[in-house]
Amino acid sequence: MDLLQTLSEYNDYYFNWPRWLRQAAGIAETEEQVKESEFWGWLRDELTMGFPGIHIQRIESGSTASGIPDVNLCYKGIEAWIELKAAKLTQRSPVKGRFDLRADQASWLEKRSRAGGKAWVLVGVPNYDESEGRWGEMLLFQGTFALQLVSIPKDLSLQDLKDRAYLVLPKERGTCVRTLLAAVLGKESL
């Protein structure tokens, strides 16, 4: 068995290689994932620059409170909770998308939504064209749908995942963030 064949069997090993190196090595089956921290940084910056007066806080609950979402925000007196997820994509036909939502996270989101709160799952989808940036779209799911997200098959196509989303947003400055904020706050527009 040659080295390239061995490497192609160990996705974890070559996952962090630059795309050009994976392609040069002939490794066709790759996964792309945006880091949740990068996704959070972009979202925070876009919201704070575009909406003066917004209060947005990353929640790092650790072992103190299981299932609490990553982000709490309040704008003009309306509060919302968002669980951020970074999708992993495989370059197959069709492209498959997956992300890991824990049962305790889904339960918290569902309970908060059923109590009248605004709770969401926001998934950052990587972009295969790195010249366009690290990620390309956002998928927004309602908290009431969170328990169903836990049981979604891992081999679901990206298109099927998009079809289940409440909202699919392309990464665009201003417009997509305005639409996203309006949706999570339950407003027609801002």
- What does 112-176 look like in DSSP terms, one character per residue? HHHTT--EEEEEEEE-S-GGG-SEEEEEEEEGGGHHHHHTS-TT-BHHHHHHH-SEEEE--TTHH
Q: Which domains does the chain have, with CATH numbers?
A: 1-29 (no CATH), 34-185 (3.40.1350.10)
Record the tokens describing residue 160, joined without a space: 């099927």
Calculate the CA 163 to chain-centre distance: 15
Identify the DSSP state of 59.
-
152 CB contacts (<8 Å, ≥6 apart)? 161, 164
Which residue has better confidence, 25 or 178? 178
pLDDT at 95: 56
pLDDT band of 85, cuts 50, 70, 90 = confident
Check pLDDT > 70 for residue 17: no
Residue 55 pLDDT exceeds 60: yes
Cα 112 versus chain centre, distance: 20
pLDDT number for residue 151: 82
